[in-house]
Structure 1
Amino acid sequence: MDPQSSIQYLKGVGPAKAKLYEKLGVRTVRDLLYHFPRDYIDLSRPVPVRELQSGESCAVRATLVRKRPEARIRRGLSLFKLTAVDENGDELAVTFFNAKYTVEGLKLEQEYLFYGRAEGLPKPAMASPMVVDPAQLGGQPGLLPVYPLTAGLSAKSVSQNMRQALQAAKWLQDPIPPQVREEQGLCPLEEAIAAIHFPQSREQCQRARERLIFEELFTLSLALRSIRGRERASTEVRIAPFSPGQFYASLPFEPTGAQCRAVEEICADLTKGTPMNRLLQGDVGSGKTLCAAAACLAAIESGYQCAVMAPTEILARQHYDTFRSFLEPSGCGCVLLTGSMGARERRLAEERIETGGAKLCVGTHALISGGVRFHKLGLVITDEQHRFGVGQRVALQQKSENPHVLVMSATPIPRTLALIIYGDLDISVLDECPKGRQQIDTFCISTKKLPRAYNFIRGLLDEGRQAYIVCPLVSEDEEGGTDLPAAEQLAKELMEGEFRGYRVGLLHGKQRPKEKEQMMAAFKEGEIQLLICTTVIEVGVDVPNAVVMLCMSAERFGLSQLHQLRGRVGRGEHKSYCILVSDARGSLARERLSAMCRTTDGFAISETDLRLRGPGDFFGQRQHGLPQMKIADMAEDVGVLQQAQGAALGVLASDPLLQQPQHKALRLACERIIENVGQRPN
């Protein structure tokens, strides 16, 4: 059977089961072959009954010697008791509940492998263990695969279907070129697929995993390079050398050493004949906008326009105000373009962009609409790039012929993810905060201590300070009657209770743009003392007088998101605090929140977030353009990733478009990844 055939035509599947497989993302026979086990049950080392440890899961090889008649405990519940004896003559008591057909299928005087958790010592027992006939393993006990499942699809069924599908593995085209496979010491694809599903040893399984992890990261590296289209030979955008001394002198403060280094690196890139592709990365408040403004001034002085695209209207408007303050003293005309603008206002903005009257254009994804035509675009700046779909980022760059590109991110990105997402970008890091930034004390409390926290906040408000309270939801009915704190309800409760008499505001993403702007303006001006909000304030709000960030149900947010929220305070001269409220008892939640309290180092926090939650949850929503990893681990396989990227560069050097015959399978693999990534909307 062809690997691209629908899975419903595989023997033992059919249309009904094919629909169940579709829930797992499995549609073709090839998809099934790449549906890898998430774990293995080790049957290769059976434990003698006398060596069983209570509470430990293991396999026991024993012969079934006795079945007791079915015992009905109560209506709808049947109990079956069996006895098995190992080679030492020691007995193992086995019980099943409501498993008549399972028990009837087991034969007396036949040897089985019983896998389960040992209990009942000193009288060894197992309740509802997995029972495997050693003959099904070819007489050689090995590792039994454990697959991701869905309701209605059993492990036994998947295993049977997988054995059928393996017949098609011989027709799979290996995407790794022979030379690369030989250089990396990797086994052939057919061998790896067979061994990953039905390994006979840990060593065989590990060899298969190494090969398939490399394949995934190798093809991903090549595919993302194709999406980004960074392999450009040259650019017509020629920017003259720029000295930022006069620009620095016009500032009301002294730039940090890190900012000066970043500006120097950026300006050096702008003078080259190849387009700049640089990531400017730094924590909230580290001064990225100043560096971007210097880059804009360099481009504008050479006769070019600049475009700055932000993911939200709130952030776009703040950037517009900030860039104007930096650039208008130099006579640079600026224009704002957002989706909420009226038709006349938008038309006037577009005319200024097209005629060149606007040298700096700041906006949201409205900048990439068909009606926007630039006069002479030379520099594209994208802020919080991971919040845009891949297509949106590329669309802005296509408004000009190979413009220079600067990417800004206040979300500290782990080294592994940076290698994937920004693998072809040079990186400038702002690791130094401007003078005056406060160290923020972070605490984690339970809801029982909320009254004390509210009292603490009231004391600060009475001193003239301001505070945020962030909720995971807008309203209580957002997730079907959940008990999670919702901004609308909490604002009402606090205005009538704990903060009665104080000026309390409400801000969330479902409000109209004008309503949000008015609320933000009121908070900035101090008219609002306490802002109840959602994560709409994660980026873009700069209120130096705000000194408390209280996050309700903090376990619901990613660590990097919490770090971003924390960065909204501590921006002025006053001591600031972050209070994480959580009643979560799970070890994962406790470890995550503990990491927030231990450090304010965004990069250390991002590494913890990646390790604990994986890349799928790293940015809160899957908008970063990464496909779901099937076998590679972003936190563990950074070494393999670097090898894979090196090999990918070697292939591209000899065949940039993957047109050579030996790269046909590789090109098809990259095309599949590009289709799966899609053009995710913002």
Structure 2
Amino acid sequence: MEQPVLYTMEGYSSQIGIMQPIYPLTRGLSNKIVSKAMQQALDIKELVPELLPAELRRSNELAEINFAMRAIHFPKDMNDYEAARKRLVFDEFFFFMLNVRRMKENNSRQPNLSRIADDARTDEFIKKLPYELTNAQKRTWQEVSSDMNGERLMNRLVQGDVGSGKTIIAVLALMNTVYAGYQGAMMVPTEVLARQQYDDTCAMFEKYGININVSLLIGSMTASAKKKERQRIASGEAGIVIGTHALIQAGVEYANLGLVVTDEQHRFGVHQRESLTQKGSSVHTLVMSATPIPRTLAIIIYGDLDISVMNELPSSRLPIKNAVVGTDYRPNAYRFIENQVQAGHQAYVICPMVEAREDGDVMEDGRGDTFANTNMHATLENVVDYTTMLKKNLPSSINVEYLHGKMKPAVKDEIMERFHSGQTQVLVSTTVIEVGVNVPNATVMLIENADRFGLAQLHQLRGRVGRGAYQSYCIFVGTSNAKKRKYGQAWNTA
């Protein structure tokens, strides 16, 4: 709690009617300390150079940039605040679009020096798959393979709903790349997903007799293991490399990189994507995203990319049934989970917190990074206590475990393997499983404090179920009626 400040009558009078900033804080910093530091920083005469021409500012009624940067923190009145905000919002969009346009022009001038033709071995692999590609997958694969053998380097976004089959398109592109004599790299946002993609790809290649060496490179590997994998990559022994941000570290050198695949594009910045492509001399780029973005908005956001839309799910997939409920529904939800487990299925439960602590809860984002919960008035569920409670509410025959990003990688792998194999029926987790985790037998996703997540994040979490032939369900438990209405409207139209 921040200590109160005592003012003289004269000092108090000077504060009346003055707008004061309220900053997001971390432990050890008060709003007063941050505000004072910001005032000192803003005393510099010229904070940044003015980049917009005077005519452009006049025609759009924009404030001068240094005025805007000061007024957004310490405005004299609401008019100053709104003028500052308008200028800063304009700059953010203007320079974003300028950079996208620059990237688009640069990409359009890049000749394809890494021609990658469609290989007969890849076509034969497609025929061996236990399912037929959907029309959307066939169309997207045609666009990707045509780009890779075209006049210009490929820069393509594959946008498709969770479960639409984007990963197999990436695997086909990586296979063609290796068969053409190049290396392919796939960068994913989490280690859990990286290990799963690696295991799934290796198992699929072994099953169908695909003789391609696959390497895994993630940050939590031991120094000796990383050194060994870097040597395999540098020598060209590894044809396909799957990993996290570790793929773009300075010590990673590729023998002949020809294709970069970025999974879950929204979790990476443009510069991270560029850092990986710069590991080779002429590299094709394929990015994938399951975040639901209207095509017109996608063209704006990803203006440097061509876009393929996969708008069709495999025929075996059933639509997920959604329910937005209050906390009083929990007993019914637990009985429903019990019934699903007794029918041979599995369930996820998502909590926003890792654990409860006396000095404040610890929240976790989808990468496994933690941060303090500054909203101390909110009652937020945590995976540790929730698991204990759930074990008391479910029969002892149902195995319940928890998972979060701060666990050691070996422990996380063991827990995920038990859930994959069905030894664990209910997994209580933070959003570390948000991206890409594939357990077709899981049919229930229960999300606690759903009003604490954004729609894109909820969409990703919901996508962890409905990946098999069974009817699946997503239950959003919220504490805010307004948020419940918001999410209810969104998912009723999903």
| Preserved contact between residue 325 and residue 484 of structure 2 (Cα < 8 Å) | no
Given residue 234 of structure 1, which amino acid in structure 2 is its aligned partner? Q
Aligned partner (choices 321, 326, 341) of residue 199 of structure 2: 321
TM-score between both structures, scaled by the size of structure 1: 0.58
Q: CA deviation at 1:305?
A: 0.6
- Output the CA distance in 2 between the equivalents of 1:323 and 1:342: 22
| Preserved contact between residue 202 and residue 214 of structure 2 (Cα < 8 Å) | yes
Quick one: structure 1 residues 219 and 321, their matched pair in 2 at CA, closer, same or farther if it must change by over 3 Å? same
| Preserved contact between residue 63 and residue 83 of structure 2 (Cα < 8 Å) | no
- Output the CA distance in 2 between the equivalents of 1:410 and 1:519: 25
Quick one: structure 1 residues 252 and 237, their matched pair in 2 at CA, closer, same or farther if it must change by over 3 Å? farther
- Output the CA distance in 1 between the equivalents of 2:66 and 2:247: 47
| Preserved contact between residue 478 and residue 484 of structure 2 (Cα < 8 Å) | no
Correspondence 1:549 to 2:448: no
Quick one: structure 1 residues 594 and 348, their matched pair in 2 at CA, closer, same or farther if it must change by over 3 Å? same
Q: CA deviation at 1:331?
A: 2.1
Q: CA deviation at 1:253?
A: 0.6
- Output the CA distance in 1 between the equivalents of 2:12 and 2:187: 65
Counterpart position of 1:673? none
For residues 408-557 of structure 1, the aligned pairs below 5 Å read 408-413=288-293, 418-419=298-299, 421-477=301-357, 480=360, 483-557=379-453
- Output the CA distance in 2 between the equivalents of 1:479 and 1:239: 57
Q: CA deviation at 1:287?
A: 0.5
| Preserved contact between residue 240 and residue 298 of structure 1 (Cα < 8 Å) | yes
| Preserved contact between residue 442 and residue 596 of structure 1 (Cα < 8 Å) | no
Measured against aligned partners, the alpha-carbon deviations of 1:77-118 in whole angstroms (never above 9, x if no partner) come to xxxxxxxxxxxxxxxxxxxxx99879999xxxxxxxxxxxxx
Percent of counterpart pairs with the same letter? 42
Give the superposed CA RMSD: 4.0
Q: CA deviation at 1:178?
A: 7.3
Counterpart position of 2:213? 333
Q: CA deviation at 1:554?
A: 1.1
Aligned partner (choices 436, 446, 465) of residue 569 of structure 1: 465
Counterpart position of 1:286? 164
Counterpart position of 1:590? 484
Counterpart position of 2:454? 558
Counterpart position of 2:131? 253
Quick one: structure 1 residues 303 and 515, their matched pair in 2 at CA, closer, same or farther if it must change by over 3 Å? same
Counterpart position of 1:369? 249
Given residue 251 of structure 1, which amino acid in structure 2 is its aligned partner? L
Counterpart position of 1:380? 260
Correspondence 1:395 to 2:271: no
| Preserved contact between residue 107 and residue 155 of structure 2 (Cα < 8 Å) | no
Quick one: structure 1 residues 191 and 500, their matched pair in 2 at CA, closer, same or farther if it must change by over 3 Å? closer
| Preserved contact between residue 297 and residue 327 of structure 1 (Cα < 8 Å) | no
Given residue 233 of structure 1, which amino acid in structure 2 is its aligned partner? R
Given residue 518 of structure 1, which amino acid in structure 2 is its aligned partner? E
Q: CA deviation at 1:146?
A: 7.3
Counterpart position of 2:365? none
- Output the CA distance in 2 between the equivalents of 1:558 and 1:476: 22
Quick one: structure 1 residues 326 and 269, their matched pair in 2 at CA, closer, same or farther if it must change by over 3 Å? farther
Unpaired stretches in structure 2, ≥5 consecutive residues? 1-6, 24-30, 34-38, 362-375
Which protein has the larger Cα radius of gyration, Structure 1 or Structure 2?
1
| Preserved contact between residue 104 and residue 305 of structure 2 (Cα < 8 Å) | no
Given residue 348 of structure 1, which amino acid in structure 2 is its aligned partner? K
Measured against aligned partners, the alpha-carbon deviations of 1:39-85 in whole angstroms (never above 9, x if no partner) come to xxxxxxxxxxxxxxxxxxxxxxxxxxxxxxxxxxxxxxxxxxxxxxx
Q: CA deviation at 1:374?
A: 0.9
Given residue 524 of structure 1, which amino acid in structure 2 is its aligned partner? H
- Output the CA distance in 2 between the equivalents of 1:562 and 1:487: 17
For residues 171-182 of structure 1, the aligned pairs below 5 Å read 175-177=51-53
Unpaired stretches in structure 1, ≥5 consecutive residues? 1-97, 106-129, 132-144, 154-160, 601-682
| Preserved contact between residue 281 and residue 429 of structure 1 (Cα < 8 Å) | yes
- Output the CA distance in 1 between the equivalents of 2:100 and 2:88: 18
- Output the CA distance in 2 between the equivalents of 1:341 and 1:473: 26
Q: CA deviation at 1:207?
A: 11
Q: CA deviation at 1:282?
A: 1.1
SS in 1 for 2:354: coil
Q: CA deviation at 1:400?
A: 0.8
Q: CA deviation at 1:314?
A: 1.0
- Output the CA distance in 2 between the equivalents of 1:361 and 1:104: 65
Measured against aligned partners, the alpha-carbon deviations of 1:257-284 in whole angstroms (never above 9, x if no partner) come to 1111111111222123432211111111
| Preserved contact between residue 563 and residue 596 of structure 1 (Cα < 8 Å) | no
| Preserved contact between residue 337 and residue 363 of structure 1 (Cα < 8 Å) | yes
| Preserved contact between residue 484 and residue 553 of structure 1 (Cα < 8 Å) | yes
Quick one: structure 1 residues 449 and 189, their matched pair in 2 at CA, closer, same or farther if it must change by over 3 Å? closer
Q: CA deviation at 1:421?
A: 4.1
Counterpart position of 1:347? 227
Aligned length: 452
SS in 1 for 2:357: helix
| Preserved contact between residue 504 and residue 531 of structure 1 (Cα < 8 Å) | yes
Given residue 113 of structure 2, which amino acid in structure 1 is its aligned partner? V
Counterpart position of 1:272? 150
For residues 599-610 of structure 1, the aligned pairs below 5 Å read 599-600=493-494
- Output the CA distance in 1 between the equivalents of 2:22 and 2:341: 52
SS in 1 for 2:254: coil
Q: CA deviation at 1:474?
A: 1.2
- Output the CA distance in 2 between the equivalents of 1:502 and 1:278: 45
TM-score between both structures, scaled by the size of structure 2: 0.79
| Preserved contact between residue 172 and residue 190 of structure 1 (Cα < 8 Å) | no
Counterpart position of 1:652? none
| Preserved contact between residue 387 and residue 428 of structure 2 (Cα < 8 Å) | yes
Q: CA deviation at 1:541?
A: 1.8
| Preserved contact between residue 239 and residue 299 of structure 1 (Cα < 8 Å) | no
SS in 1 for 2:353: coil
Q: CA deviation at 1:318?
A: 1.6
- Output the CA distance in 1 between the equivalents of 2:331 and 2:223: 49
Q: CA deviation at 1:405?
A: 0.8
- Output the CA distance in 1 between the equivalents of 2:314 and 2:63: 53
Correspondence 1:234 to 2:110: yes
- Output the CA distance in 2 between the equivalents of 1:350 and 1:104: 66
| Preserved contact between residue 471 and residue 552 of structure 1 (Cα < 8 Å) | yes
Q: CA deviation at 1:531?
A: 1.1
Quick one: structure 1 residues 343 and 594, their matched pair in 2 at CA, closer, same or farther if it must change by over 3 Å? same
- Output the CA distance in 1 between the equivalents of 2:440 and 2:175: 27
Measured against aligned partners, the alpha-carbon deviations of 1:420-462 in whole angstroms (never above 9, x if no partner) come to 5422111111111112112111112222221121111111111
Quick one: structure 1 residues 210 and 276, their matched pair in 2 at CA, closer, same or farther if it must change by over 3 Å? same
- Output the CA distance in 2 between the equivalents of 1:495 and 1:209: 49
Q: CA deviation at 1:369?
A: 2.4
For residues 653-668 of structure 1, the aligned pairs below 5 Å read none
Counterpart position of 1:296? 174
Given residue 322 of structure 1, which amino acid in structure 2 is its aligned partner? D
- Output the CA distance in 1 between the equivalents of 2:457 and 2:87: 34
Q: CA deviation at 1:595?
A: 2.8
Given residue 535 of structure 1, which amino acid in structure 2 is its aligned partner? T
Quick one: structure 1 residues 497 and 186, their matched pair in 2 at CA, closer, same or farther if it must change by over 3 Å? closer
Given residue 546 of structure 1, which amino acid in structure 2 is its aligned partner? A
